[in-house]
Amino acid sequence: MKLIVLGSSSSGNCYILDNGTESLIIEAGIRFQEVKKALDFNLRKVVGCVVTHAHNDHAKYIKAMVDSGFHTLALREVWTAKGVWDSRSLVVKEGKGYKMGNFKVLPFPACHDVPCVGYLIDHPDMGKMVFLTDSCMCEYQFKGLNHVLIECNYSDKKLIEAITTGRTLPSQRERLLTSHMELTTCKGFLEANDLSHVSEIVLLHLSENNSDEPYFISEVERHTGKVVYAAKPGLTIDLDRI
Ligand SMILES: [Zn+2]
Ligand SMILES: [Zn+2]
């Protein structure tokens, strides 16, 4: 199973899981033309799309997903915010499982400044993956994980530096604390979960002003002993089972 990253930041999020015959799209925050290109214009293999919340960097192009015939999972608030109602707009219920092709998808509550979910995604070719972005924390532990995609938006140190040098407004600090994941929280989440069958960790949604990609990668690598990537457009990873 391949993971293709089309975007992972406040300027747009979209990821594709693709095993050659089935594709699942995660997030709809990238222009649909880009998504089609990444799918080699083979839209028939798309088994569905899952969206975490209504912010435009995740859901701006959700209508294009539905209009293309993709069954799309999102919270009721997302459909209401985007004014999209169609037989393919599926309303997510947290804790309820969904099947999209051979993907099994389980939404769970995230902790953001608007209603938001993370997804536990299972496929025979990949095993179990957790996907959590735009969440200041995670109170859940997951069993039997093979792949971890987790937000690592900022570090307190970088944030303070950015505020001191005027790159980040002091008023943004309060919002970040309750809406995005800090490096220490990310490491705490990884520590709380059994990583013995995890083959790699992908850090998501790094802030442009308040993060430090090489440092975040080395910190998480040092902390977990796993291979760590930072998601960015063009990154493609083989998600093999170990
Ligand atoms: Zn976001
Ligand atoms: Zn958001």
Round to whole Å and give the CA distance between 225 and 23. Answer: 30
* pLDDT tens readout for residues 151-172: 999 999 999 999 999 999 999 8
State the Cα–Cα distance between residues 242 and 146, nearest whole angstrom.
7
Residue list, CB under 5 A from ion ligand 2: 55, 134
Is residue 152 within 8 A of residue 216, CB to CB? The reply is yes
| Tens digit of each residue's pLDDT (9 = 90 or more) over 64-110 | 999 999 999 999 999 999 999 899 999 999 889 999 999 999 999 99
How far is ligand 1, taken at its centre, from the CA of residue 242, in Å?
30
Q: Measure 33 CA to ligand 1 centroid, in angstroms.
A: 20
* C-alpha 76 chain-centroid distance: 19
State both tokens at 216: 């975040």
Compute, in angstroms, the gap from residue 2 CA to the centroid of ligand 1.
23
Across residues 44-56, what is the average pLDDT? 98
Q: Find the 134 Cα to ligand 1 centroid distance in Å.
A: 5
- Evaluate if residue 26 carries a pLDDT over 70: yes
Ligand 2 geometric centre to CA of 55 (Å): 5
| Tally of CB atoms within 10 A around 208 | 11
Q: What is the pLDDT of residue 204?
A: 98
Determine which helix (DSSP H) or strand (DSSP E) holds 186, and give its type and residue range.
helix 183-192
How far apart are the CA of 236 and the centre of ligand 1, in A? Answer: 20
Mean of pLDDT values over 22-46: 98
**Distance of alpha carbon 140 from alpha carbon 102, whole angstroms:** 24
Q: Contact at 8 Å (CB) between 46 and 23?
A: yes
Assign 223 a pLDDT band (cuts: 50, 70, 90).
Answer: very high
Beta strands in the chain (DSSP E): 2-9, 12-18, 23-26, 46-50, 72-74, 89-91, 98-100, 103-109, 117-123, 127-132, 147-151, 200-204, 227-230, 236-238
**DSSP alpha helices (H): ranges in 73-141?**
76-82
Q: What pLDDT is attached to residue 95?
A: 86
pLDDT at 242 over 70: no
> For the chain, what are the domain ranges?
2-238
Mean pLDDT over 145-154 rounds to: 98
Which strand (E) or helix (H) includes residue 59?
helix 56-59
Dihedrals phi, psi of 110, to nearest 5 degrees = -105, 180
Tell the residue number behind the tokens 């069958």, with chain if given. Answer: 197
Indicate the fold that domain 2-238 takes in CATH. Answer: Metallo-beta-lactamase; Chain A (3.60.15)
Interatomic CA distance for residues 202 and 204, integer angstroms: 6
* The pLDDT of residue 88: 94
Distances (CA, A) of 191 to 8, 90, 149, 216: 23, 34, 14, 15
- What's the pLDDT at 70? 97
pLDDT at residue 240 in the model: 79
